[in-house]
Structure 1
Amino acid sequence: MSYGKFKSVEEVAIKFDITVSDRTPFVAQKPFEILDIVFEMIAKKLKDDTNYINEFAICDALIRPILDIVADNYPLKVWSHVPYNVDEEKGLVGEPDYLIAAKTKYGAMAEPALCVIEAKKDNFDDGWTQALSEMVASSLLQARICYGIVTTGALWQFGKLENNIFVIDPRYLSATTELQQVFNTLNWMFNQINQVENLQ
């Protein structure tokens, strides 16, 4: 079994004894300054139908550029489709869409503190199932807290796993109408991750 093979959040929660909390707002915003020309470029991409024709287009044209713009302000890297094989017997293997983690002095990926999933066919339930399994894998590698994002490129939703408690923020942010808020929220989340990394 791999990350994408789990059928539901409940299945992952039962297998790894995770408490699934009621959906509760928890994300905040940290103002993010972005050059007008870059902001306008992303906004234009979000309105272009050709960027939504398949999951590869969504990942390459929308999700990755947005993540990169924020990551460039932190000592964190966007790791794309890299092997993340934590425990084969438990089904925690595969190549996640995106993992956000520091780079070790040996050039490898440190424990991911953020897992980003492209919501295939706009299915957020399946997206959160995969995200939670990846977040569990990170916790098994001693990550104190791990955040998750499920996104269609246009819609973004945020979650976290801390002390074996999983919570999803019920709010969706629309990158097409709330792009600055998406950047502000990502900036807040990257800042939280950076603080945790510095404490370890």
Structure 2
Amino acid sequence: MSYSAFRLDDIEPQLGLTIKESSTLFTDVQVQPVSAALQETLDYNLPLALEISTEKARSEMILVPILIELKKIFNSKISLFSGREFNIDPEQGLVGFCDFLISQSASQLIIKAPVVVIVEAKNDNIQSGLGQCIAVMYAAQIFNQRQGNGVKEVYGSVTTGTNWKFLQLLDQVVEVDVREYFLNDLSLILGVLKKFISVEN
């Protein structure tokens, strides 16, 4: 089994996590202004990505520019990994590749704790990616604990590039934001992502 094999129904019986829906997870988020460079890039890329209409196109043309913007916001003091193998616990099926992984470490050579954000890209069905995302978040929690890092929360997102769903893992509880965020409110999406990395631990 690997991350991609996990479905939402698998999470509680196989990983022992509790899943809850929340309408108050990110109500205190401050919006993050969108740079002119990112807006220009997305204005050009978005129609093309939607015309090509593949997961790869959405990931490369919409998602990557947004995550690079996030790295710029933190003056490259965070690391961003794309398509990296993240094998944590083969017995639990916590092996495979992550679409995107963000660490509060600045190292780009190897993945170092604390891993704080997992982002899974999907072409059109966010619901189908929730189980996979939670499994990687749980693996990140284990990874951080093994590294002796005190980070309490791991955050995740499943996104089509235009639609975003956010999650939080704290201890054994996964909270799924009932709200869906849309690209036309990019400053709020950036604000949520920034909060994930800025959170006090």
**TM-score by shorter chain over 0.5:** yes
Q: Which residue of 2 aligns with 1:189?
A: 196
Q: Which residue of 2 aligns with 1:14?
A: 13
Q: Which runs of 5+ in 1 are unaligned?
A: none
Q: Greater strand percent: which structure?
A: 2
Match of 1:178, SS? helix
Alignment-mate amino acid for residue 157 of structure 1 = K
CA pair 181-161 structure 1, distance change in 2 beyond 3 A = same
Query: Residue 114 of structure 1 is aligned with which of 117, 126, 145?
Result: 117
Alignment-mate amino acid for residue 113 of structure 1 = V
* Pair 1:33-2:33 in alignment: yes
Determine the C-alpha separation between the residues in 1 that align with 2:178 and 2:71. Answer: 24
Alignment-mate amino acid for residue 188 of structure 2 = Q
TM-score scaled to structure 1, two decimals? 0.86
Contact 2:81 2:108 in 1 (8 A): no
Determine the C-alpha separation between the residues in 1 that align with 2:31 and 2:22. Answer: 24
What does residue range 67-78 of structure 1 map to in structure 2 within 5 Å? 67-74=67-74, 75-78=77-80
Determine the C-alpha separation between the residues in 2 that align with 1:63 and 1:107. Answer: 21
Q: Which residue of 2 aligns with 1:85?
A: 87
CA pair 137-37 structure 1, distance change in 2 beyond 3 A = closer
Q: Let me know the Cα RMSD of the aligned residues.
A: 2.1
Determine the C-alpha separation between the residues in 2 that align with 1:140 and 1:187. Answer: 23
Contact 2:21 2:178 in 1 (8 A): no
Match of 1:59, SS? helix
What does residue range 150-161 of structure 1 map to in structure 2 within 5 Å? 150-161=158-169
Alignment-mate amino acid for residue 115 of structure 1 = I
Question: What is the aligned length?
Answer: 191
Q: Which runs of 5+ in 2 are unaligned?
A: 146-150
Contact 2:79 2:106 in 1 (8 A): no
Query: Residue 170 of structure 1 is aligned with which of 167, 175, 178?
Result: 178
Determine the C-alpha separation between the residues in 2 that align with 1:83 and 1:57. Answer: 21
Determine the C-alpha separation between the residues in 2 that align with 1:54 and 1:37. Answer: 24
Determine the C-alpha separation between the residues in 2 that align with 1:135 and 1:97. Answer: 12
Determine the C-alpha separation between the residues in 2 that align with 1:149 and 1:43. Answer: 22
Q: Deviations over 1:8-62 (max 9, x none)?
A: 2231221111111133331242332333243232233223355652111111111
Bigger drift between 33-42 and 130-139 goes to 33-42
Determine the C-alpha separation between the residues in 2 that align with 1:164 and 1:100. Answer: 21
Determine the C-alpha separation between the residues in 2 that align with 1:86 and 1:49. Answer: 33
Alignment-mate amino acid for residue 154 of structure 2 = C
Q: Deviations over 1:104-160 (max 9, x none)?
A: 76942123211100124x222221110000011112122521100010000011001
Determine the C-alpha separation between the residues in 2 that align with 1:99 and 1:106. Answer: 11
